[in-house]
Structure 1
Amino acid sequence: MKNWLLLTIAMLVIGVLAACAPEREESATAEEPETDTTEETETNETEKKEEVTEADKPEKLVVWEDKDKGIGLDAAIASFEEEFGIPVEYREMDMATEIREQLRLDGPTGQGPDVVTLPHDQIGQVVIEGLIAPLEVEETVTGIYTESSIAAQTYDGKLYGLPKATETPVFIYNKELMPEPVATFDELFKFSKEMAGTDQYGFLALWDNFYFGNSIMQGHGGYVFGGEDGVQDSQDIGVNNEGAVEGAAYIQQWYEEIFPSGIIGESGGSAKDGLFQEGKVASVMDGPWAFQGLNEIGMDYGVTPLPTLPNGEYPITFMGVKGWHVSNFSQNKEWATILVEWIANEENAKIRFEETKEIPPVKTLIDDPIIAEDEGAQAVAIQSERAIPMPNIPEMAEVWEPMAQALQLIATGDSEPQEALEEAHSTISSQIELNHSGN
């Protein structure tokens, strides 16, 4: 990292000098003899880097980190301070709700941070509000991360963060009731039917919740927003296309024949978790956030990516990517960017995983023994490659409620999939037009 930084800053200085002397450049000819100036150039670059970086060093940098996750930053901060001589402080806050709200208040007053962590689905809104700055880094930096995780950190064609951790739903099974995981949903449906009439269930999922249910619809060809070249088109809504309807019909079949009525609606999650932890459910669809609770009760459980659907395709789950971002109010954006690169690099991402168990989307770490030998982490890593980032445009806020209502009508049998999804599509389109026509 030190050598890279030396070269990057030196090249910027050289570029500025060259821009100031166009006449010299124009006078150069092909007949001039070539000389080997590599050693001299490297020496000059080192000297220039030291001169530039020593100037304008901030007294300190401030990071806002997620609640109870600061332990994953300690090693990275210690090595950054040793390398660059800049103290770094961090403050823990709730990432999903508190950081964005506090940045709106503290940023303009100069009391805010230089670096913040946020869930990627908030990026579109905070960019529109001017809360975070575009991130200018080399392709050698972004190249270490999975393509989908970089896409999650991109809005309107610009990069606004570096990935920190990824999460997506996986298949979790109780080895006492299911010694070996199933490979297909056809097998799982048959297994679950055999348990019908007892007080146990073969599989439970919250498919009336669009976060989970979309994976089945998208696995059949549905989608939320279309678009090209990483730019999402909120006018192209695919929640009611042929594939989405087919997926919703499959969801309805599970609710009609397998799932109990108690796992629909707001209390569905706690009902599902209670049944699974009581040993009454063989398997569930859930995320890595469930692992700690299962460890605490001592369940002997296994984790795999989700089985294949009847059409032979994998469910396409929503992926959430937590990232590091530079505050648009920071007076030290260049150094804040260097800090983001430092704390998100491969070495520090690995250390952070050891401390927090949050899975970094760093390509080389997927096959590293630290993740490859961790069954839960490996399952999330593989499923993440089959996932798509949740849309990070502000219009996504108009999708959740209409789709939840549609899926609940489908789950209870009060509406057929086509009818329910058509109504959801109409509502989403109207709300986007009403609330986001100026975007």
Structure 2
Amino acid sequence: MEEQDGSESSGEDGSDSSGTDGTDTEEGSDDSGPSGTATVWYSLSESEKDEREAAIQQFEEQTDHSIDNSDISDMEQKTTSAIPAGQGPHTFEWAHDWVGDYTERGFLVDRSDDLGVDLDQFTPAAAEAAQFDGGVYGLPHDSETVTLIYNTDIVDEAPETVEEMRSTMEEFHDPENNQYGLGYPFNDPYFLSGWLQAFDGHLFDPEADEALGVDSEEVIEGAQFAVDNFAPYMPNDPQYEPQASVFAEGNAAFAINGPWYLSTLNEKGINYEVTELPTAEGASPTPYTGITMWYFTTGMEDGGDDIVAAQEFIEWYTTNEDLLLENAEEQGSIPVLQSLVDGGELPDSVQGFAQSVEQGVPMPSDPRMNQVWDPVKNALTKMFNGDDDPQPALEQAADEIRSNWE
């Protein structure tokens, strides 16, 4: 996926219930039974689409099934309108944080009794992300978070602290000559979560005594830290595209972005390294992490050849070592298939993201989290533009969230 306004996704494992293990054999077509057509939706950047279509073609060649695939520009709007009308896909790809909300709204179906793969094949966090209230509502293939990327033509070595990073940004930052210290989508809570939660705070934790922490002292401290240390060295538009493009054009020393961004950097010929987020005045950044998965929609509720095709595609994709390793190498995807995580074959750039995944915490899948993103995004935009200080901006956001919950 490209940008994460509270979520983003990708694809990962692959073995189907017919015995296909991701290798080019003809056995899958003999064993998979009658052919079906699975309807599959995803939302990808231009650089990712060719790889996805090649993977789908590979699946079709290995089985008797076909895939009716579509790239969807607004997945949330499309799924929430099409699925209840009976016009949705059998499966769609997105980060795990919709599991709770979509389950409660009747958009997903529990397929725990129909799985042809063992959830133990995935990392524990990924296996847990696909479940809600004891049901299994999809299968995972990648993890994602944001981390620090630096241009090796500008920066000699990875900074271990924000103070070191700031020293380099100050030296390089020269907006009049189109040079910036940092490209960072500042208005997106997913991207800023590492710093908002760095000082022992949380945006939302359903297990905490006070679930909503948006207006807590700790989160306000993290927001102030981000405003002071990052905003002065960025282009003056906090949105994704202008922040991402400045580093991709070679005009910024650092970027904070996700693994989906690496394919763009590779296309642009940027020399870069990926490293974990630096420490913040002794505190450790705690970014949100996402698990990208193929969801089981209510379109998979009934039997039939099309449902078999969808199930086999999902299981093939999420357990296919060759495919997932290629995604890691070409797109920077972070597999959650345990055999790849333990195998030592992942590229260095992916290992850098994996370190930040270890730093982070999974996005809550509690349905109430959906009411958190937009008010916090508006608060971050006000802070970046200098229209409000962190405390009043976040207090207003918290009031709006609580009101929406009621």
Q: TM-score range by the shorter chain?
A: 0.7 to 0.9
Q: Does 1:262 align with 2:241?
A: no
Q: Does 1:120 align with 2:96?
A: yes
Q: Which residue of 2 aligns with 1:323?
A: 293
Check the 8 A contact 1:319/1:384 in 2, yes or no: yes
Within the candidate set 59, 81, 97, 2:74 is matched to 97
Q: Which residue of 1 aligns with 2:266?
A: 295
Tell me the amino acid that sits aligned with residue 317 of structure 2.
I
How has the CA–CA distance of structure 1 residues 65 and 432 changed in structure 2, closer, same or farther, with 3 Å as cutoff?
A: same
Deviation at 1:178, TM superposition (A): 0.3
Q: Percent identity, aligned pairs only? A: 26
Check the 8 A contact 2:196/2:203 in 1, yes or no: no
Q: Which residue of 2 aligns with 1:210?
A: 189
Within the candidate set 301, 324, 328, 1:350 is matched to 324
Distance, in Å, in 2 between the alignment partners of 1:366 and 1:103 is 34
Counterparts in 2 of 1:138-177, with a 5 A limit?
Answer: 141-177=118-154
Counterparts in 2 of 1:324-343, with a 5 A limit?
Answer: 324-330=294-300, 331-332=302-303, 335=308, 337=311, 340-343=314-317
Check the 8 A contact 1:184/1:310 in 2, yes or no: yes
Q: Does 1:250 align with 2:225?
A: yes
Within the candidate set 368, 373, 387, 2:343 is matched to 368
Within the candidate set 366, 370, 377, 1:397 is matched to 370
Within the candidate set 134, 143, 161, 2:110 is matched to 134
Check the 8 A contact 1:162/1:341 in 2, yes or no: yes
Q: Which residue of 1 aligns with 2:46?
A: none
Distance, in Å, in 2 between the alignment partners of 1:238 and 1:275 is 33
Q: Does 1:181 align with 2:158?
A: yes
Report the 3-state secondary structure (helix = DSSP H, G, I; strand = E; otherwise coil) of the residue aligned with 1:192. Answer: helix
Q: Does 1:284 align with 2:261?
A: no
Higher helix share: 1
Distance, in Å, in 2 between the alignment partners of 1:194 and 1:246 is 26
Q: Which residue of 1 aligns with 2:23?
A: none
How has the CA–CA distance of structure 1 residues 113 and 176 changed in structure 2, closer, same or farther, with 3 Å as cutoff?
A: closer
Distance, in Å, in 1 between the alignment partners of 2:171 and 2:235 is 18
Check the 8 A contact 1:161/1:326 in 2, yes or no: yes
Question: Alignment RMSD, CA only?
Answer: 3.6
Distance, in Å, in 1 between the alignment partners of 2:259 and 2:58 is 24
How has the CA–CA distance of structure 1 residues 399 and 301 changed in structure 2, closer, same or farther, with 3 Å as cutoff?
A: same
Q: Which residue of 2 aligns with 1:432?
A: 405
Deviation at 1:107, TM superposition (A): 7.7
Q: Does 1:70 align with 2:41?
A: no
Structure 1 range deviating more: 376-385 or 165-174? 376-385
Report the 3-state secondary structure (helix = DSSP H, G, I; strand = E; otherwise coil) of the residue aligned with 1:143. Answer: helix
Check the 8 A contact 1:99/1:116 in 2, yes or no: no
Tell me the amino acid that sits aligned with residue 343 of structure 1.
Y
Using the size of structure 2 for normalisation, the TM-score is 0.77
Check the 8 A contact 2:145/2:357 in 1, yes or no: yes
Residues 152-173 of structure 1: CA distance to partner in whole angstroms, max 9, x if unpaired? 3233453211102222212111
Deviation at 1:251, TM superposition (A): 1.2
Within the candidate set 357, 367, 378, 1:384 is matched to 357
Deviation at 1:429, TM superposition (A): 0.6
Check the 8 A contact 1:188/1:203 in 2, yes or no: no
Deviation at 1:113, TM superposition (A): 4.9
Tell me the amino acid that sits aligned with residue 184 of structure 1.
T
Deviation at 1:189, TM superposition (A): 1.7
Q: Which residue of 1 aligns with 2:36?
A: 60
Tell me the amino acid that sits aligned with residue 237 of structure 2.
I
Q: Which residue of 2 aligns with 1:311?
A: 282
Tell me the amino acid that sits aligned with residue 420 of structure 1.
A
Residues 155-214 of structure 1: CA distance to partner in whole angstroms, max 9, x if unpaired? 345321110222221211111110221122121122223445674333342333212112
Check the 8 A contact 1:366/1:378 in 2, yes or no: no
Distance, in Å, in 2 between the alignment partners of 1:241 and 1:185 is 23
Counterparts in 2 of 1:34-49, with a 5 A limit?
Answer: none
Tell me the amino acid that sits aligned with residue 246 of structure 1.
E
Check the 8 A contact 2:142/2:291 in 1, yes or no: yes
Tell me the amino acid that sits aligned with residue 430 of structure 1.
S
Distance, in Å, in 2 between the alignment partners of 1:355 and 1:252 is 34
Distance, in Å, in 2 between the alignment partners of 1:108 and 1:400 is 26
Deviation at 1:304, TM superposition (A): 1.6
Q: Could you say which structure has the larger radius of gyration?
A: 1
Check the 8 A contact 1:222/1:240 in 2, yes or no: no
Using the size of structure 1 for normalisation, the TM-score is 0.72
How has the CA–CA distance of structure 1 residues 397 and 307 changed in structure 2, closer, same or farther, with 3 Å as cutoff?
A: same
Distance, in Å, in 2 between the alignment partners of 1:242 and 1:172 is 29
Check the 8 A contact 2:15/2:315 in 1, yes or no: no
Distance, in Å, in 2 between the alignment partners of 1:113 and 1:204 is 36
Tell me the amino acid that sits aligned with residue 388 of structure 2.
S
User: Which has the bigger relative contact order, CA under 8 A and spacing at least 6?
Assistant: 2
Distance, in Å, in 1 between the alignment partners of 2:16 and 2:230 is 58
Report the 3-state secondary structure (helix = DSSP H, G, I; strand = E; otherwise coil) of the residue aligned with 1:282. Answer: strand
Distance, in Å, in 1 between the alignment partners of 2:112 and 2:18 is 13
Check the 8 A contact 2:194/2:288 in 1, yes or no: yes
Structure 1 range deviating more: 402-411 or 98-107? 98-107
Check the 8 A contact 1:104/1:131 in 2, yes or no: no
Tell me the amino acid that sits aligned with residue 97 of structure 2.
D
Within the candidate set 396, 399, 405, 1:423 is matched to 396
Check the 8 A contact 2:141/2:292 in 1, yes or no: yes
Counterparts in 2 of 1:218-233, with a 5 A limit?
Answer: 218-228=197-207
Runs (5+) with no aligned partner, structure 2: 1-13, 20-30, 44-48
